[in-house]
Structure 1
Amino acid sequence: MTKIIGITGGIASGKSTVVEEIRQAGYQVVDADAVVHGLQAKGGQLYQALLDWLGPEILTADGQLDRPKLSQLIFSSPEHQARSAQLQNDIIRQALAKERDRLAQSEDIFFMDIPLLVELDYLDWFDAIWLVYVDEDKQVQRLMERNGYNQAQAQQRIVAQMPLLEKKKYATLVLDNNGSLEDLQKQVRQALKNL
């Protein structure tokens, strides 16, 4: 019986660090963001859907999606966020299900990193859910440093997501990333040992 563990968190919570640690331990991880990037690549299913909706102004000179511009457009209004979600979520879910089923053929334990795992109701896909948790002020600070956002831009992206505090009630395991990198890595190694 394959065990599937979902990893979730928020923007700039430290999910990438956790995923890297899990991969280094030899486990397979399906990265929802990477799957989405593939679908949004030129000629991909989402690429065409977004182009039909928002028009050619979302493209770079070489015909790829202009991610910063796309992000700005989507986050510019609740209506755009809702439309984007409606447009993309079914296509993404199908692609993730395909990856899940493929890995279930060969792996005893594998992970799926899905940022919107709770919001988009992927809960029943998993035997356990690991939440990468960080306090909101630290999240804002990290997002500003990482992406060069000002405080308002960082907060706009964070409030667009479910608060991490709220996600805690769905988590089987909370990885607290308010400390050092070494702290977080230790927690992940311990959690993997406990599998």
Structure 2
Amino acid sequence: MTARVDAARRRPRAELDAADRAPDWHDNHVRTTFLTTPLSRRAALRAAGGAALGTTALTLITGCSDPGDADTPAEMDALTEQARLARRDAANATATIAGRPDLAAALGVIAAERTAHADALDEEIARAASTPPSSTTTTPPAAAPVPIDQLRADLASAQRDAGKLARTQSGYRAGLLGSISAACAAQQVVLLP
């Protein structure tokens, strides 16, 4: 190590500067057939990075807008039927409150949750159809009070149907239907005696 230092000290200053200024392998320019001026290593890396970033962005953009992912009329009909059943269950629960005041709190929760389910399904249907959701919802006519067993059977049917439909969907829609199915199960077991 000391021999090198001594040799460097003995070299004239001009010789050291020339050696330090000599181009290394990474300073050489890349010659290309489509560019008239040489392309530096840094510029080549910038171009490669930009191309990779552009390709990634293009892939993400086209992946998010798959035209083959359009909703079929059967899917929309199934969602519409689920919304109709949710509104029916909410109306039945509200009508039953008068006949069963001891279950008024539980029936009120069922009515509120099933109304929320219907609203969420209506919003999903409107989103899929690319139309803004309507600000007015159709309220079913006042229903006659139904027996608790009938309401429980309706909720069980809605649970099964929403669960089956959730298995055929993906993404947000599958989660929404799975949540509706789970809520109907909880309403039967927890809220109704």
Normalising by structure 1, what TM-score?
0.24
Which structure has more RCO (C-alpha within 8 Å, separation ≥ 6)? 1
Which structure carries more helix by proportion?
Answer: 2
Determine which structure has more spread, i.e. the larger CA radius of gyration. 2
Which structure carries more strand by proportion?
Answer: 1
